Amino acid sequence: VFYADSEFGSSIQVNPDGTAELVRAQQSNYGFELMTSAQVRDDLSISFSAAYNDGENDPDDDGNYDALPSLQVLPLSLNLGATWDYSDKLRLSGNVYYLDSRDRAFDDGVDTYELDGYVTVDVGLEYKLGAGALSAQITNLFDEFYLPAESQSRTGITSDLRTAGQGRALSITYSTTF
């Protein structure tokens, strides 16, 4: 858990035309981070992490605080992972990532966009083969279309630079140690 207060904090404001400027003002930041993992059984482990960050500043020093930009304080994110050693040779894994939406900075007129959240799921398997291991990984299993937070911030003259997050992708590798 954290809380920070600064008389001369800094944040970046993205203007409607896509340009950005540095804003120095009274600022507070707060939030939490949590990470945990457990060996549920000899063959099964799980992990979980959560992070939340928020804050505000008073750029015109009038006592009315505005939300910090969404690129500076990302919304709630959750990550859940699991690894299962099915046998001595086969290991299966999965991961779910969630990023919440955030409209607080848009509502305050700080951001020119509302940050849309998304969920991605990754799965993988590893099979011990000879002196190494053959692995297959599918990222974004359900081919979720999303724009990463940084890309969503591109508005105005930079909106044509928005790029989507990676779609479903399969990677196959063989690795060995020597």
50 touches 84 (CB < 8 A): no
**Quick one: which of 162, 172, 87, 177 has its CA closest to 136?**
172
User: So what's the pLDDT on residue 111?
Assistant: 86
Average pLDDT for the chain:
92
User: So what's the pLDDT on residue 18?
Assistant: 66
- The CA distance from 114 to 32, in Å, is 22
Q: What angle do CA 170, 174, 176 make, to 5 degrees?
A: 150
Q: How far is CA 44 from CA 49, 50, 94, 137, in A?
A: 17, 21, 12, 18
Q: How far is CA 21 from CA 43, 54, 69, 89, in A?
A: 52, 20, 12, 54
How many other CB atoms sit within 10 Å of the CB of residue 75? 18
User: So what's the pLDDT on residue 75?
Assistant: 92
pLDDT < 50 positions in the chain:
none
